[in-house]
Structure 1
Amino acid sequence: MEEILTTAAQPAQRTARGVQTRGRIVSTAAELMRVRGVGGTTLDDIVRASGVSKSQLYSHFADKAALVRAVIEYVGERTVGGERERLGKVKSFAGLKRWRDGLIANNALEQGRYGCALGSLANEVSDHDVVARAQLQALFTTWGELFEDVLRRFQSNELIPADADVAQLATGLVAAVQGGYLLAQTAGDVAPMAAAVDVSLAHLQLLSNTDLAH
């Protein structure tokens, strides 16, 4: 995966222009990798698409691995940040159902074509880059903790039993979402994703006497 640059990278000056250029490189790389995959995206592709020179790219990133790690950070902030905002509002089964509907509707915009950006990155780089794997593990852990927070609120509101294993239930929700993304991507249809998430929500429902509409 790693693509070594022939010019030694120099530390980028932290000017406003430098920050803007680095940001453009990372956001462009993230979009290309989302569509083409990490392996299908070259540094030359990123240079052309971002409109920067090779020397500008070299000044910010020593090699492709360094750029991929920056992409993981960028994608992670967007993905987990968005989930933090959405899940932070969930205090009831009705709220959880609204979260589910938004998740499915958003993935339906492209017929589930590209899957989860974090999941796709994990599939491509986890076996080859221990630093990237640690980044991704931390992001998925944080995502799971957001679900745990939701479930603890459910416990406080007596929607699920106080002795329910929220860590285990949260892991199941993350797995349902990630597996759902993969199924939707291979099917070109969000229906399998909806089914996967619904099964996880139905399991939660079995722990409660509260209807999903409430």
Structure 2
Amino acid sequence: MTTRRAKLLEATCRVIALRGVRGLRVEDVAADAGVSKTLIYYHFRDRAGLVTSALEYVNDRAEGYVGSTGDDHVPVRDLLLGLLAAEFQDDTAVRENSAVWGEVRAAATFDEGLRPTLASLTERWLVDIAELIADGQDEGNIPESVDSRAAAVRLTSLVEGLSGRWLASLLTTAEARAHVAAALERELVGVSQG
């Protein structure tokens, strides 16, 4: 990604995090980035392209802070916890990412144009979590009776819900992480879900 394009996306994320998707104006992004509106239209075609590109950008940025430890000997449960709990950090970029995701999810309720990108990126997250659970099952650390896809849906939905409370300062970072850890343990016990 070009430096200029990244600068525009960073500015877009800041504006969305402050004003929401509905409050996003191209003029505000241009002012924040110190560029002309024409440059934004050149790179993103229209406001919708700017919003979907910003969502892809925060997704890529999140992959950087929730990435693997690089240690092949880390138990899958610890990797899962690290991946899910990394969504809650006392870090400006992490909070901004969470705010952008929440705003785009909310806006997609009314704007069908946002749904394909949102669905694609959400599916990638679900697949990553489900594959890790399946890896734990292959290792024998997670019971075969756990439905990896269903557990991934519930865990990622929990993270999304906790995120809104965390951003509103209704939960501390430690409390949000503790809820994720407790939910993960309950999901991975392998009790038959009837």
Q: Tell me if TM exceeds 0.5.
A: yes
TM-score under structure 2 length normalisation = 0.79
Q: TM-score by structure 1 length? A: 0.72
Counterpart residue number, 2:101: 118
Q: Which digits, 9 at most, give the CA deviation of each residue in 1:39-60, with x for residues without a partner?
A: 2332111111111123222323
Instruction: Tell me, yes or no, if the aligned pair for 1:148 and 1:166 is still in contact at 8 Å.
Output: yes
Cα gap change, 1:165 to 1:92, in 2 (>3 Å): same
**Within 1, Cα distance between the matches of 2:69 and 2:143?**
20
Cα distance change on mapping 1:131 and 1:115 into 2, 3 Å: same
Find the structure with the greater CA-based Rg. 1
Match of 2:75 in 1: 91
C-alpha spacing 1:58/1:160, structure 2 compared with 1 (3 Å): closer
1:206 aligns with 2:171: no
Percent identity between the two aligned chains: 24
Post-superposition offset of 1:29: 0.8
Which runs of 5 or more residues in structure 2 are unaligned?
A: none
Given residue 71 of structure 1, which amino acid in structure 2 is its aligned partner? A
TM alignment of 1:24-173, pairs within 5 A? 24-80=7-63, 82-83=65-66, 85-86=67-68, 91-99=75-83, 102-104=86-88, 106=89, 108-109=90-91, 116=98, 117-124=100-107, 126-173=108-155
Distance 1:45 1:191 in 2: 34
Q: Compute the RMSD of aligned alpha carbons.
A: 2.9
CA distance in 2 between counterparts of 1:44 and 1:200 reads 42
Residues 61-106 of structure 1: per-residue CA shift (max 9 Å, x gap) = 34322211221221222224654x23886633344444455443x1
SS at match of 2:68: helix
- Give the secondary structure class of the aligned counterpart of 2:113: helix
- Kindly report which structure 2 residues correspond to 1:154-193, keeping only aligned pairs within 5 A, or say none: 154-186=136-168, 187=170, 189-193=172-176
Assess if the C-alpha contact under 8 Å between 1:115 and 1:184 holds in 2: no
| Residues 53 and 102 of structure 1: CA distance in aligned 2, closer, same or farther (over 3 Å) | closer
- Number of residue pairs matched by the alignment: 186
Q: Distance in 2 between the 1:60 and 1:200 partners?
A: 41
Task: Tell me if structure 1 keeps the 8 A contact 2:144–2:190.
Answer: no
Unaligned 5+ segments in structure 1 are 1-15, 209-214
Which 4+ residue blocks in structure 1 deviate beyond 6 angstroms? Answer: none
